[in-house]
């Protein structure tokens, strides 16, 4: 049995990843630590109730005592750190929680992992660790900043984050790197492009547009709608993290992306057509401050060195995602009640 701590496992990518791992590795035990913020939802994981290889703990990754307790109790051998404040628009309104969760939370986890994993607990400079341990930091392509019309993000580029969210993720990447350099803590960092798929909270572009279309609400497009993102189905992100967890070379950073560049307006029109709605729902609104124009991933390192490949085409993945939202209207209704109404009103002026 391998005991893997997944943080943020009740969120969008986290809940997909926890289920992916339990399906793929029946011999592993997954310990999911999640604070259940507005973005965390245990309904995403309800099919796991009664699974003896799955443990859920409601806790804050910034809480050192609780993280220490998790390591002491479950003999954690790997950490996949996904817990984060993840929405750029929220980081523009309220940056501080992005810094505490995304940076301090990561540093607390690194410290506790170092304490439990080093071979000589009395030696503060010990660089020898238990066999097979690893800290995997789930980061984002946004740490590289924005691209012009051409070019791709490669792992060796300098970090030039533009939003409080991406700056906090970049800071976390640097602290993870520093623990590897200074203390020899085994680690990898993954930097993935935009994900889509089931269980994504409808504050992000694709589920927000699906939900608004279904309710015949305006579709708010920031600026000219020509910003480009490189879309990847969440299941492909999960298989890439799995690959890096098992085969990633210590200390290395891996970009993850599926070569699927699309302008925002194209995506919105695709959703409108798939749901049989009218383009008159589109409303161009004030642009996001500091809005990154284009992201695009060079995925040659992970594909050539680790043999990872995405499975989904964008067309099939989008159709499946739209079908999932149509089949799970109850899930959407639950997550958009309460706080979401307030958020939406403040964000989009309704």
Catalytic residues: 141-142, 165
Comparing CA positions, the residue from 196, 169, 330, 343 lying closest to residue 271 is 196
The DSSP element (H or E) to which 248 belongs, if any, is: none
- Displacement of CA 153 from its chain's centroid (Å): 18
Q: Tell how strand 228-230 and strand 261-263 pair up.
A: antiparallel
Query: What's the rounded Cα separation, in Å, for the pair 100 and 148?
Result: 31
Alpha-carbon torsion, ordered 198, 312, 214, 192, to 10 deg: 60
Burial category of 297 from C-beta neighbours within 10 Å (exposed 0-12, middle 13-18, buried 19 and up): buried
Q: Name which position in 34, 142, 173, 261 contacts ligand DAU (CB under 6 A).
A: 142
Residue span binding ligand DAU (CB under 6 A) among the ranges 25-33, 80-88, 116-124, 336-344: 80-88
Q: Name which position in 91, 140, 162, 163 contacts ligand NAD (CB under 6 A).
A: 140
Residue 40 CB, nearest distance to ligand NAD (Å)? Answer: 3
Residue span binding ligand DAU (CB under 6 A) among the ranges 1-9, 24-32, 220-228, 299-307: 220-228
12 binds ligand NAD (CB under 6 A): yes
88 binds ligand DAU (CB under 6 A): yes
208 binds ligand DAU (CB under 6 A): yes
- 260 contacts 314 by C-beta, under 8 angstroms: yes
229 binds ligand DAU (CB under 6 A): yes
Residue span binding ligand DAU (CB under 6 A) among the ranges 39-47, 139-147, 298-306, 313-321: 139-147
Q: What is the length of the chain? A: 350
220 binds ligand DAU (CB under 6 A): yes
Query: What's the rounded Cα separation, in Å, for the pair 61 and 37?
Result: 12
Q: Please, what's the b/e burial string for 255-289 (b: 16 or more CB within 10 A of its CB; e: otherwise)? A: bbbbbbbbebbebbbbbbebeebeeebbeeeeeee
207 binds ligand NAD (CB under 6 A): no
Residue 58 CB, nearest distance to ligand DAU (Å)? Answer: 22
Query: What's the rounded Cα separation, in Å, for the pair 121 and 119?
Result: 6
264 binds ligand DAU (CB under 6 A): yes
233 binds ligand DAU (CB under 6 A): no
Within 8 A by CB and 6+ apart from 5, the residues are 31, 33, 70, 71, 74, 76, 78, 79, 80
205 binds ligand DAU (CB under 6 A): yes
29 has which bridge partners?
A: 3
Which of ligand DAU, ligand NAD, none binds 34 (CB below 5-8 Å, type-dependent)? Answer: ligand NAD
Measured CA distances, 166 to 198, 212, 234, 304 (Å): 23, 27, 20, 27
Nearer to ligand DAU, 41 or 86 (CB): 86
3 binds ligand NAD (CB under 6 A): no
159 binds ligand NAD (CB under 6 A): no
Q: Name which position in 3, 4, 6, 62 contacts ligand NAD (CB under 6 A).
A: 62
The dihedrals phi and psi of 122, each to the nearest 5 degrees, come to -85, -15
Based on DSSP, count helices (H) and strands (E) in the chain, helices before strands.
13, 13
255 binds ligand NAD (CB under 6 A): no
Residues numbered 165 to 204 that lie near ligand NAD (CB under 6 A) are: 169, 192, 194-195, 201
Which of ligand NAD, ligand DAU, none binds 30 (CB below 5-8 Å, type-dependent)? Answer: none
Which of ligand NAD, ligand DAU, none binds 39 (CB below 5-8 Å, type-dependent)? Answer: ligand NAD
Nearer to ligand NAD, 277 or 288 (CB): 288
37 binds ligand NAD (CB under 6 A): yes
Residue span binding ligand DAU (CB under 6 A) among the ranges 25-33, 51-59, 153-161, 221-229: 221-229
| Site residues, ligand NAD (CB under 6 A) | 7-8, 10-14, 33-37, 39-40, 60-62, 82-86, 101, 105, 138, 140, 169, 192, 194-195, 201
């Amino acid at each position: 049995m391998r005991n893997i701590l997944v943080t943020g496992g009740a969120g969008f990518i986290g809940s997909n990843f926890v289920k992916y791992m339990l399906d793929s590795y029946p011999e592993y035990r997954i310990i999911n630590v999640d604070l259940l913020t507005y973005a965390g939802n245990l309904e995403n994981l309800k099919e796991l109730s009664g699974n003896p290889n799955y443990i859920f703990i409601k806790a804050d990754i910034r809480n050192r005592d609780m993280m220490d307790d998790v390591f002491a109790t479950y003999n954690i051998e790997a950490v996949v750190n996904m817990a984060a404040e993840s929405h750029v628009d929220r980081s523009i309104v309220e940056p501080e929680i992005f810094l505490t969760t995304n940076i301090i939370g990561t540093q607390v986890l690194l410290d506790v992992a170092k304490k439990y994993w080093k071979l000589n607990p009395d030696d503060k400079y010990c660089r020898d660790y238990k066999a097979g341990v690893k800290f995997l930091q789930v980061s984002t392509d946004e740490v590289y900043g924005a691209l012009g019309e051409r070019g791709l993000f490669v792992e060796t580029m300098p970090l030039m984050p533009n939003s409080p969210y991406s700056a906090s993720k970049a800071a976390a990447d640097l602290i993870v790197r520093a623990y590897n350099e200074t203390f020899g803590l085994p680690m990898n960092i993954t930097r993935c492009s935009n994900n889509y798929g089931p269980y994504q909270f409808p504050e992000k572009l694709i589920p927000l547009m699906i939900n608004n279309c279904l309710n015949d609400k305006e579709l708010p497009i920031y600026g000219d709608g020509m910003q480009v993102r490189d879309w990847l189905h969440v299941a492909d992100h999960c298989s890439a993290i799995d690959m890096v967890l098992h085969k990633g070379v210590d200390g290395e950073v891996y970009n993850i992306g599926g070569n699927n560049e699309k302008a925002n307006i194209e995506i919105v029109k695709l959703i409108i057509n798939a749901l049989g709605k009218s383009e008159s729902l589109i409303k161009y609104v004030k642009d996001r401050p500091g809005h990154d124009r284009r992201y695009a991933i060079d995925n040659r390192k992970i594909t050539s060195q680790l043999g990872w490949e995405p499975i989904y085409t964008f067309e099939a993945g989008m159709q499946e995602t739209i079908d999932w939202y149509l089949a799970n209207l109850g899930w959407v209704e639950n997550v958009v009640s309460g706080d979401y109404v307030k958020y939406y009103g403040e964000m989009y002026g309704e």
